[in-house]
Amino acid sequence: MTTFRYLERRSADLHVVAEWSSASAEVYPVGPRRLVIELSRPVPEGITSDTLRQVGRHLDDMVGEFNEVLAVGGHRTMVRRYTEDRLASLPPDGDAFHRGLLDIHEDLDRRGEASPTRVMAEAMRIPEETMRACLRIARRHAHSQGSA
């Protein structure tokens, strides 16, 4: 008799449900046989590539849980994903972008991250020195806006 197991993840924007079948238990690690993606709120553009990246993160977690994979470096991964999501929500440029970069850096610092700049660089997949330069520009931009 085939049995099914369901795992789900929710975030502010979406609900993901995965279904596994006991019939594929001989394979390791095994992924789900069915995946349901549901937007939690009305989103005019629907399911986008950004949505699918979030689904991929949820799916990775659920596959690990189903296969009882130990989460090595789980905190670091969680912080990087949080930072990626915050960065993805920034506008492409302008004052709000610069303020947003600084806000993310300050938030990571308040949360006790040893190197917020490193975390942001990893999340953006750029060298740390490039991230430092971006933050310097953002600080200068913010300072010039504040004195104007």
Instruction: Tell which wins on pLDDT, 73 or 123.
Output: 123
Which amino acid would we find at residue 77? T
pLDDT of 37 reads 94
Say if residue 35 is in the same domain as residue 81. Answer: no
Query: Which pTM was predicted?
Result: 0.53
Pick from 110, 61, 101, 99: nearest CA to 81: 61
Look at the block and give the residue holding tokens 């296969």.
Answer: 67
Residue 133 has a pLDDT of 95
Same structural domain, 46 and 84? no
Write out the residue range of the structural domain in which residue 27 sits: 4-66
Q: Which amino acid is at 79?
A: V
Domain count, the chain: 2
Q: What is the CA radius of gyration of the chain?
A: 19
Please tell me which residue, 11 or 68, carries the higher pLDDT value.
11
Q: Are residues 99 and 53 in the same domain?
A: no
Helix ranges restricted to H, 21-111: 49-66, 74-88, 95-110
pLDDT digits (tens, 9 = 90+) for 37-81: 999 888 889 999 888 988 998 888 888 777 765 444 566 777 888
pLDDT at 113: 86
